[in-house]
């Protein structure tokens, strides 16, 4: 079965086509600048040069059609015709309290996803455009939704409630949800396979450090606590997000700087974090380079970033009364040996011992970077959210088919 994985944003749409027999990616790409002048479709098939096509794509239905045209293109395509797309899986940022696992899409699911628009106004409406666009192009193909928040629905109240009036939770669902769930789920399972130890027996702190960053305490395979909250702003310092801060700063800064709601939102989400402190970039590579060239602000930004990860690792080790595995994933976590070393250097009290030679090795596979004597296994586990979305979609579609067959 071929599964098309879609991640729809308001002006972009990323896709990967999987052959589920081999779990190979047959093709992948993205459409950017949807609804703007000269939209761009970039399409990649392994072993072939990237194809770029510039055209006017005004909305998501056309974007999906262009993707399907490309997948079945005489020269650049990988399918003979679009019937060979047998299922579609969508990434959805916010599943609220409604969704604790992936589901097949039907009218009820669409209604529930719509109800969650308020909680993720920048993301969920765009995902819905993606779902409707696929429906318009492939009306008979089953679709599934996989939520970034679902994995964290196992968090206990003590982790997910904010200590504010309960009416806000009851009336407006203001609570912590957590994000990057698909990634934390995938890498913790990979870690357990790699270590050949059952997930149920492990206390894992998973650090997903990319443009967005979050730490999760995973106890016996289930999310116990995570650093992102009601929105992805809470927790670690990120490329452009502030992470944790005193909430009283918001009204204070709004008053002093005469900021509107949207300006303060944009300040905390887009102009804070690494870019704000370094004054150079939100990209960790550029911050590290500037630090190595002697930039003081870049050094401060790097050190703050590391310090906050270390604080969360310590907090989650305490939350679970122990830690067996510390794992790093995502763009920075997988690629920056400098960052991993800096985080681990301050955690020797937990029994963490990094092996510098192993830490320096690059590989696309899970690997151990701690010494043989380290009391905690420190791992780098490359994440693959798209593969997990494809697997969930495949499983749901096959289960539904079997159920229909049994009837």
Burial of 197 (0-12, 13-18, 19+ CB in 10 A): middle
Residue 19 catalytic? Answer: no
Identity of the residue, 282 or 370, whose beta carbon is nearer to ligand ADP in the bound complex: 282
Total number of residues that touch ligand ADP (CB under 6 A): 12
Q: Per the structure block, which two tokens stand in for 306?
A: 């590391």
Closest approach of Cβ 212 to ligand ADP, in Å? 4
Closest approach of Cβ 255 to ligand ADP, in Å? 32
Stretch that binds ligand ADP, among 7-15, 106-114, 295-303, 324-332 (CB under 6 A): 324-332
240 binds ligand ADP (CB under 6 A): no
- Nearest-10 Cα torsion for 319, 323, 329, 333: 90
Residues constituting the chain: 407
DSSP state letter for 11? S
Q: Could you give the C-alpha distances from 330 to 50, 145, 210, 213, in angstroms and in order? A: 23, 22, 5, 9
Q: Per the structure block, which two tokens stand in for 2?
A: 């071929």
Stretch that binds ligand ADP, among 110-118, 134-142, 206-214, 222-230 (CB under 6 A): 206-214
One of 98, 211, 265, 300 touching ligand ADP (CB under 6 A)? 211
One of 335, 370, 374, 384 touching ligand ADP (CB under 6 A)? 335
Identity of the residue, 39 or 335, whose beta carbon is nearer to ligand ADP in the bound complex: 335
Stretch that binds ligand ADP, among 58-66, 163-171, 250-258, 329-337 (CB under 6 A): 329-337
Residue 39 sits at φ, ψ, to 5 deg, of -75, 155
360 binds ligand ADP (CB under 6 A): no
Identity of the residue, 57 or 338, whose beta carbon is nearer to ligand ADP in the bound complex: 338
32 binds ligand ADP (CB under 6 A): no
Annotated binding residues: 7, 14, 91, 208-212, 283-285, 331-335, 385
Stretch that binds ligand ADP, among 2-10, 24-32, 218-226, 277-285 (CB under 6 A): 277-285
Stretch that binds ligand ADP, among 157-165, 187-195, 289-297, 331-339 (CB under 6 A): 331-339
SS3 readout for 170-217: HHHCCCCCCCCHHHHHHHHHHHHHHHCCCHHHCEEEEEEECCCEEEEE
DSSP state letter for 340? H
331 binds ligand ADP (CB under 6 A): yes
One of 9, 29, 181, 212 touching ligand ADP (CB under 6 A)? 212
242 binds ligand ADP (CB under 6 A): no
Contact partners, residue 158, CB within 8 Å, separation at least 6: none
Q: Per the structure block, which two tokens stand in for 37?
A: 């002048």
Annotated binding residues for Mg(2+): 7, 385
| 49 contacts 43 by C-beta, under 8 angstroms | no
**Active-site hit among 83, 148, 244, 365:** 148
| 41 contacts 47 by C-beta, under 8 angstroms | no
Q: Is 33 left (phi over 0), alpha (psi -120 to 50) or beta?
A: left
| 243 contacts 308 by C-beta, under 8 angstroms | yes
One of 89, 142, 239, 243 touching ligand ADP (CB under 6 A)? 239
Per-residue binding string, ligand ADP, 143-172, x by CB under 6 A, is ------------------------------
| 209 contacts 240 by C-beta, under 8 angstroms | no
**Positions marked active-site:** 148
Enumerate binding residues for ligand ADP (CB under 6 A): 210-212, 239, 283-285, 330-332, 335-336
């Amino acid at each position: 079965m071929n599964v098309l994985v879609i991640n729809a944003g308001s002006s972009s749409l990323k896709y990967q086509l999987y052959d589920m027999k081999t779990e190979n990616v047959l093709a992948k790409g993205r459409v950017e600048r949807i609804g703007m002048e000269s939209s761009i479709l970039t399409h990649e098939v392994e072993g072939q040069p990237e194809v770029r096509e510039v055209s006017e794509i005004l909305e998501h239905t056309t974007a999906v059609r262009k993707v399907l045209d490309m997948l079945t293109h005489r020269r650049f395509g990988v399918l003979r015709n679009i019937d060979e797309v047998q299922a579609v899986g969508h990434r959805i940022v916010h599943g609220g309290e409604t969704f604790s696992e992936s589901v097949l899409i039907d009218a009820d699911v669409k209604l529930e996803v719509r109800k969650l628009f308020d909680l993720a106004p920048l993301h969920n409406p765009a995902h819905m455009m993606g779902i409707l666009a696929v429906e318009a192009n492939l009306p008979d193909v089953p679709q599934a939704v996989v939520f970034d928040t679902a994995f964290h629905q196992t968090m206990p109240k003590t982790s997910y409630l904010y200590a504010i009036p309960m009416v806000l939770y009851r009336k407006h669902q203001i609570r912590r949800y957590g994000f990057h769930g698909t990634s934390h789920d995938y890498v913790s399972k990979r870690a357990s396979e790699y270590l050949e130890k059952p997930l149920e027996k492990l206390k894992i702190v998973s650090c997903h450090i990319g443009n967005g960053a979050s730490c999760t305490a995973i106890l016996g395979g289930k999310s116990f606590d995570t650093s992102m909250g009601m929105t992805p702003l809470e927790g670690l310092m990120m490329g452009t997000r502030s992470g944790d801060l005193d909430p009283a700063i918001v009204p204070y800064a709004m008053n002093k700087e005469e900021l509107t709601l949207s300006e303060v939102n944009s300040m905390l989400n887009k102009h804070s974090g690494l870019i704000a402190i370094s004054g150079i970039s939100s990209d960790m590579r550029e911050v590290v380079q500037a630090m190595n060239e002697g930039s003081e602000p870049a050094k401060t930004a790097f050190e703050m970033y590391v310090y906050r990860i270390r604080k969360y690792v310590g907090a989650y080790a305490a939350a679970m009364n122990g830690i067996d595995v510390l794992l790093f994933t995502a763009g920075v976590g997988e690629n920056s040996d400098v960052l991993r070393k800096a985080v681990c250097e301050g955690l020797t009290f937990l029994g963490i011992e990094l092996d510098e030679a192993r830490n320096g090795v690059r590989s696309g596979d899970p690997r151990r970077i701690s010494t043989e004597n380290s009391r905690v296994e420190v791992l780098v586990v490359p994440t693959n959210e798209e593969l997990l979305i494809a697997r969930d979609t495949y499983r749901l579609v096959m289960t539904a088919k079997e159920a229909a067959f049994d009837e």
